[in-house]
Structure formats: C-alpha cells, structure tokens
C-alpha cells in the first residue's frame, strides 16, 4: 500500500467519523419520525382494524341503557334500543347487539366487534367502530338529547306589519330580525343608492342559547329542532325526546304593529324522562351590534348593554370602552341597543344572576360585541310552561316604549324608556313632560319635521318669553346706569378703594331699584331647556331619515362639503365635513353676540369681548358632527332671540327706563334681607381693613 492510498483511506475515515459525529441526533429524530409514520401507516393500512376498549364498551352499554327506548320482554328481561344515524343497537344485560350501516351495507355489530374481515373490509370495520364510539360519547354528553345533535337546518318565517323574523331549526332560535318600516342609513358601499330595511341581527352575529337543566346542562345552540308551525303567529321548535315526552321553545308574534315576541319554554312528560334535579335554566345571549347610521361617532357613543334590577334602577356598561359586570342580583330585563334600535329580553320570573360583557369592535360594519350570561332558578320539570320571556326588537321610540312599560308586566314599571338617553334628571324631566308630548302631538298633524321643529322652537320661546323680557329689561336698566357706574370707578380707583366702590355701586343700585342679578337669573333659568334639547335631538328616532331643505337626514350631519383626510385633534369632534345648519348657527350666534354686547353695560374687561366671540367658533367645532336637527333648532332659537331683541328695543325705551328709575329713587326703600346682609359684610370688612391699617401704622 503506497503513501497516497493510505492517505486516501485515512481521509475517508475522517470524513465518515465527522459525519457520524455531526448527525447522530438528527438520525435519531429521523428514525423516530419514520417509526411514527410507520405506526400511523400500519394503523390506517388496509389490513388493520379498530376495537372498543373494555371501558368504552362498558360506557356504550350504560349510555344505551340510560338513553335508549326500553322494552320489557315476556321473560321480564329489559332491552334498551337505540336507532340513530345508521346505527341500530340494543343492550340486553351487558351484551350489545344490532347492526351498523356503512356505505349502504348493514353489518352485524358482533362481526364488527370481532373484526371479522370476511364479512367486511378493514376500512369499513374501522369506520363502524368510530361511528359507534362517537355516538356513545355524544350520548354521554347530551343524554337523551344526543339524537338532536345532527339534522337538517330548516328556516321558518314569522312576520307582521312591522317586523319579519327568521327562525332556524339549528338552535331553535331567531337568526334574523328585520324591521319593515325603517331603512338603514349606513352602507359599506357609498355608491349604493338603494336602501335596505334595517336588520337588527343576522346569522352568527346573534346567538340565543338556553341551557337545558340536565345533570350536565345541554345547550340548545348545539341541537336540531323540529319546527312546527302552530298557526300564522306561532312556531314551536320541538325536540321529541321519546314517543310521549318532548321539550321545546315556542315563539308567538302577534299580528299588526307589534314588536314584542313572546318566547315560552314548553315541555310535556319530561319529569320522568330526564330524571334531573337541576333547577337552573341558563340563558346565554351574544350579539354584534350592527351599524345602521351614517355617523359612527354618535351611534357608537349610544350603543351598549343595558339591564334593569327587579324593582330597581336601569344601569348599563360603559359605552366608550370595554367593560364587564358580574351581578348576583335579580335582573328584570337585559337589553342590547344602538342609537335608534334595541333588542330587550324581559324575563317573566326575573333572572337570578347575570354576567355582562361589552367589547368595542374596531371594524367598519359593527360597533360592539355584547354578551349576557344569566340564569332563571326554580325550573319545574313538571310544569307545561316552566319559563317565559318577552322579547322586544324594535325602535327606541319614546311613546312606544312608554306604552310597553305598562303592558309587558303590569306589576312593575320596566322603565324601557331609559334606553333613550335624554340627559340628567332635570333635563330628562323637561323632555318627557314638555318637549316629547308637544313633538309627538305636532307629528300627528304635520309630516314635515322641519316645520315641526320650527313650531316647537316657537312654542319653547313663548314659554320662555317672560324670562327673556325680564332679562332684556334688566339689561336696559344696567345700560342706563353704566355712565354712573363708570364715574364711581373713575372717582375711586385702585385696590385700596375697592370697598368704597362696591358700597357706592350698591347704593346706586338700591336708589335706582335695580338688581344686577336680575339679568343673569332669567338666562340661567333658560339653560335647562337648552341642555334638554341638546339631549333630545340626537336621540329622536322620528327625525331619522327625514329630509328638510338640503338636509337628507335630520338625525345626521347635513354635510355640504366632505373630504377624506383627518385634521389632527379636531377630526374626532369636527368630522370630515362641514355642516350647513351648524355653519348658519355659528354665523347667527356671532351676530347675536354682537347685538347682546351692545345691550349690556361695559364690563371693563377687554379680554371678555374676544372670549364672547370665541365661543361661537368653539360651538362650530363641537356641533359640526351633531344631528342637523339640533343645529337647525339652535339656529332658529338664536334667530328668534335676535328678532325679540329688536322688538324689545322698540318697546323698552331708555327714556322710559330713566323716568321709572327716577320715580323709584323718590320712593322710600326697604332693604331686603340680601342687601342688609351684604351691607353688614361690607361694614365688617371695612372694620377689619381699618384694624389692619392701624397695626401697620404702629409698626
């Protein structure tokens, strides 16, 4: 062996050793994967079979015995039989017999259990065992309701003059709710001109699920019901558990203008069939709140989960962020709402506890994902109607909800009108006692809501007229006194004369019979009306879709110019458009500010003048994205106020005011309690000031 040959052999050996050293782990993994693949191949190979384990066979015997149809043979032997989805098996003692249908062939279970491949192929044997195994597990989970886990999904429709409902045999619940009298204003395709009817929910975006109170509760969302149309108004979703026992959900939708669906849990001969001591009927409801309006900001702000305590108040989860609540208390109703429409489930016997959750959805078509998980206790298996509910699906219309408050449950005021945000208690009182009745009354005779808002504005102005007149009269008095007040300020300048100036000014007011607060107080008394209207118009569904002049929808902004970009820090409030009614309101507000400042005495504060003019500009930013009806109302209100101001100028002459003040000055004055207290405070302050000056002089 020469030197080159020896070197070649040594080099080959080194390469082999290096290869073995670098790849032992990879080889083990490869072998392990190969072994696993071989095992799986052997398991699914044409010649391999499957079989139930002893535990699985015992479980199968128990499930068929508990949930199958029982017959007693002449020799008193008990035989339980089950026929479902191609499986026809019976249990006698501990033995299972019967057939399984595979690929259209009826194969004896005994041959399947023995894996007799002379009677079937290995794949058929494995398929038969898997079918029986799945059936046994299903029976263990659903008991006598296991046969309803498969079936055909059928849809039935219930409808009246205002609402159409689709009921699905899969889950036995309402899967679509469409309101016939309302059109959706929102469309993902802005070029689409044809409007669709408002669909509150549809398909998987809404889920009604009852948990049947078995030892292991069964969820109706997993079951296939047999739909039975009782009449034109009633559908029964039925589960025929045995020949003589059934469980179901009955839906009744009255004809006419009715948005309330009566939902009843119905059953017959179930007490001896299920053998359950569970008395808690569970109810789970989830819904993705759908967009219906053009403007997302207000619809999102007014969408959320509401609920009412039995005999108590209405509360709700946060509408601006994700929120959740666990309420261990009796709940009367649960409501999912958006700006103008709601779905409310009212329990006749109250929910005993409930978990609520609200999640904000960032997508374009939906606003919130709402979840309510509640229970109704004291479920009675012997009762034909163990639980019932009233389901309202309709508009947030105040007169309608107020009517339902008294009719759904005569024993308790449901306060469904709380679904409509009408402001704090005082503002809500103004809306419900004054504004809404007048607005509803006018709506019975006038179809144009622009005219109705005009008449409502005039009505409110007539109510406020005495306060407005008194405010203007007080301004006229202060305007007459303005030169004398300026003279006092010039005569006693500086902070050291502040007390003297105040005394002289108050003496002037007293002599003239003027009250500086009389001009501000009427304005303050008008503020609740303004705030009440601020809450009313964005919540008024009557304005939805109603056009007036250039505004196509008085419940939405009346954009005349729009753009796609965002203005930092402003777009959130201002939006991507300019609303004409809001612009007119701003111009009118600036004009009113100018006129009003002419009517008032000079305040001696130059910065206040610019502040007064800045306020209308701020209103433009914040009101631009609000409902056109609100801006239109404020525009009309300001316009009428300007007209009143000029009318008051014609009626209230300054010369007449001066004569009246002169007459008041001659009359003896009786000090009011307020003036007496004010003068006493002034004397005390003067005494303290003199005392301080003495101490400083001694130093």
pLDDT for 276-326, tens place per residue? 888 999 999 999 999 998 878 888 889 999 999 998 999 999 998 999 999
Q: Residue 536: its pLDDT value, please?
A: 92
Indicate the pLDDT class of residue 607, thresholds 50, 70 and 90: low
Q: Residue 159: its pLDDT value, please?
A: 94
Identify which has the larger pLDDT, 490 or 449: 449
Q: Residue 469: its pLDDT value, please?
A: 79
**Confidence check: pLDDT of 661 > 70:** no
Residue-wise pLDDT tens digits, 85-103: 788 999 988 889 999 999 8
Q: What number is the average pLDDT over the span 185-201?
A: 79
Identify which has the larger pLDDT, 401 or 82: 401
Three-state DSSP class for residue 224: strand
For residues 92 and 630, what is the distance between their CA atoms, to the nearest angstrom? 78
Q: Is 224 exposed, middle or buried (0-12, 13-18, 19+ CB in 10 A)?
A: buried
For residues 290 and 562, what is the distance between their CA atoms, to the nearest angstrom? 24
Indicate the pLDDT class of residue 457, thresholds 50, 70 and 90: very high
Query: How many CA atoms does the CB half-sphere of 320 hold within 13 Å?
Result: 0
Q: Which of 90, 87, 111, 237 is nearest to 175 (CA)?
A: 237
Q: Where are the alpha helices (DSSP H) in 540-627?
A: 571-574, 580-599, 606-623
Q: Residue 523: its pLDDT value, please?
A: 66
Residues 6+ apart with CB under 8 A from 476: 599, 652, 654, 657
**Confidence check: pLDDT of 71 > 60:** yes
Residue-wise pLDDT tens digits, 522-575: 667 778 888 899 899 989 999 998 999 999 889 888 888 877 766 666 666 677
Identify which has the larger pLDDT, 594 or 266: 266
Indicate the pLDDT class of residue 192, thresholds 50, 70 and 90: low
Distance of CA 185 to the CA centre of its chain: 18
Indicate the pLDDT class of residue 620, thresholds 50, 70 and 90: confident
Q: Residue 200: its pLDDT value, please?
A: 96
Q: What number is the average pLDDT over the span 390-413?
A: 92
Backbone torsions φ then ψ of 340, nearest 5 degrees = -125, -5
Q: Residue 673: its pLDDT value, please?
A: 56
Three-state DSSP class for residue 375: strand
Indicate the pLDDT class of residue 668, thresholds 50, 70 and 90: low
With pLDDT > 90 as the criterion, what percentage of the chain qualifies?
A: 41
Tokens 């195994």 — which residue? 133
Residues 6+ apart with CB under 8 A from 181: 162
Q: Residue 25: its pLDDT value, please?
A: 45
Q: Residue 39: its pLDDT value, please?
A: 41
Q: Residue 573: its pLDDT value, please?
A: 65
Three-state DSSP class for residue 454: helix
Tokens 């374009």 — which residue? 364
**Confidence check: pLDDT of 228 > 70:** yes
CA dihedral 296→298→302→304, nearest 10 degrees, is: 20
Domains, the chain, with CATH or none: 54-148 (no CATH), 155-421 (2.70.98.90), 449-666 (no CATH)
Residue-wise pLDDT tens digits, 122-160: 999 999 999 999 888 888 888 888 889 888 899 999 999
**Confidence check: pLDDT of 115 > 50:** yes
Identify which has the larger pLDDT, 205 or 574: 205
CA end-to-end span of the chain: 126
For residues 458 and 442, what is the distance between their CA atoms, to the nearest angstrom? 13
**Confidence check: pLDDT of 224 > 90:** yes
Q: What is the pTM of this model?
A: 0.79
**Confidence check: pLDDT of 44 > 50:** no
Q: Residue 669: its pLDDT value, please?
A: 55
Q: Residue 616: its pLDDT value, please?
A: 81
Tokens 């609100």 — which residue? 630
For residues 473 and 400, what is the distance between their CA atoms, to the nearest angstrom? 44
Q: Residue 421: its pLDDT value, please?
A: 92
DSSP output for 63-82: HHHHHSEEEE-TTS-EEEEE
389 within 8 A of 252, measured Cβ to Cβ: no
Q: What number is the average pLDDT over the span 174-187?
A: 92
E strands along 126-195, which residues? 155-159, 163-168, 173-183
**Confidence check: pLDDT of 21 > 70:** no
Q: What number is the average pLDDT over the span 681-685?
A: 67
Indicate the pLDDT class of residue 470, thresholds 50, 70 and 90: confident
Q: Which of 347, 137, 151 is nearest to 239 (CA)?
A: 151
Residue-wise pLDDT tens digits, 339-388: 999 999 999 989 999 999 999 998 778 999 999 999 998 999 999 999 99
Identify which has the larger pLDDT, 46 or 240: 240
Q: Residue 194: its pLDDT value, please?
A: 72
């Amino acid at each position: 062996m020469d030197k080159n040959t020896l070197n070649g052999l040594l080099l080959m050996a080194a390469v082999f050793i290096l290869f073995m050293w670098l790849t032992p782990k990879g080889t083990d993994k490869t072998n392990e994967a190969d072994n696993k693949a071989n095992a799986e191949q052997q398991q699914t190979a044409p010649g391999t079979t499957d079989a139930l384990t002893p535990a699985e066979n015992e479980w199968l015997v128990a499930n068929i015995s508990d949930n199958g149809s029982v017959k007693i043979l002449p020799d008193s032997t008990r035989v339980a039989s089950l026929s479902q989805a191609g499986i026809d098996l019976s249990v006698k003692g501990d033995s299972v017999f019967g057939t399984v249908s595979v690929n259209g062939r009826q194969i004896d279970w005994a041959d399947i259990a023995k894996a007799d491949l002379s009677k079937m192929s290995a794949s058929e044997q494995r398929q038969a065992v898997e079918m029986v195994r799945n059936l046994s597990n299903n029976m263990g989970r659903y008991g006598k309701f296991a046969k309803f886990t498969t079936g055909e999904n059928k849809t039935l429709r219930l409808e009246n003059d205002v609402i159409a409902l689709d009921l699905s045999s899969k889950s036995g619940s309402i899967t679509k709710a469409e309101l016939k009298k309302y059109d959706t204003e929102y469309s993902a395709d802005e070029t689409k001109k044809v409007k669709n009817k408002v669909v509150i929910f549809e398909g998987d975006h809404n889920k009604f699920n009852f948990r049947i109170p078995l030892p292991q509760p069964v969820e109706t969302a997993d079951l296939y019901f047999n739909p039975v149309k009782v009449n034109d108004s009633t559908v029964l979703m039925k589960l025929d558990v045995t020949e003589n026992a059934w469980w179901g959900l009955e839906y009744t939708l009255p004809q006419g203008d009715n948005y309330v669906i009566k939902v009843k849990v119905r059953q017959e001969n179930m007490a001896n069939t299920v053998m359950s001591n569970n008395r808690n009927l569970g109810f789970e409801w989830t819904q993705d709140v759908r967009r219906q309006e053009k403007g997302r900001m207000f619809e999102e702000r007014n969408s959320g989960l509401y609920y009412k305590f039995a005999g108590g108040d209405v509360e709700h989860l946060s509408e601006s962020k994700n929120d959740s609540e666990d309420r261990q208390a009796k709940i009367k109703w649960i409501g999912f709402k958006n700006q103008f429409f709601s779905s409310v489930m009212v329990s006749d016997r109250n929910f005993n506890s409930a978990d609520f959750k609200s999640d904000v959805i960032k997508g374009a078509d939906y606003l919130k994902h709402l979840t309510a998980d509640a229970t109704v206790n004291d479920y009675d298996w012997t009762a034909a109607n163990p639980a019932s509910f009233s389901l309202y699906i309709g508009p947030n219309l105040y007169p309608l909800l107020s009517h339902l408050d008294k009719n759904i449950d005569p024993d308790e005021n449901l306060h469904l009108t709380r679904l409509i945000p009408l402001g704090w208690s005082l503002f809500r009182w103004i809306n419900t006692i004054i504004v809404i009745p007048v607005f509803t009354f006018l709506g019975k005779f006038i179809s144009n809501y622009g005219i109705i808002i005009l008449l409502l504005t005039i009505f409110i102005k007539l109510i406020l007229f005495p306060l407005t007149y008194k405010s203007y009269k007080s301004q006229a008095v202060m305007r007459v006194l303005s030169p004398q007040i300026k003279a006092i300020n010039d005569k006693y300048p500086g902070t050291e004369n502040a007390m003297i100036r105040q005394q002289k000014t108050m003496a002037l007011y007293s002599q003239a019979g003027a009250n500086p607060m009389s001009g501000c107080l009427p304005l303050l008394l008008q503020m609740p009306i303004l705030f009440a209207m601020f809450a009313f118009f964005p919540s008024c569904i009557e304005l939805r879709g109603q056009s007036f002049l250039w505004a196509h929808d008085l419940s939405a902004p009346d954009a005349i110019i729009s753009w796609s970009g965002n203005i930092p820090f402003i777009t959130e409030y201002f939006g991507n458009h300019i609303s004409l009614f809001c612009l007119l309101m701003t111009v009118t507000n600036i004009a009113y500010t100018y006129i009003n400042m002419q009517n008032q005495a000079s305040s001696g504060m130059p910065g206040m003048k610019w502040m007064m003019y800045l306020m209308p500009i701020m209103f433009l930013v914040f009101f631009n994205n609000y409902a056109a009806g609100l801006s239109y109302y404020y525009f009309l209100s300001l316009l009428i106020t300007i007209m009143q101001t000029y009318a008051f100028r014609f009626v209230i002459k300054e010369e007449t005011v001066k004569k009246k003040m002169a007459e008041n000055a001659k009359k003896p004055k009786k000090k009011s309690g307020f003036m007496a207290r004010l003068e006493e405070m002034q004397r005390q302050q003067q005494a303290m000031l003199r005392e301080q000056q003495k101490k400083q002089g001694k130093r």
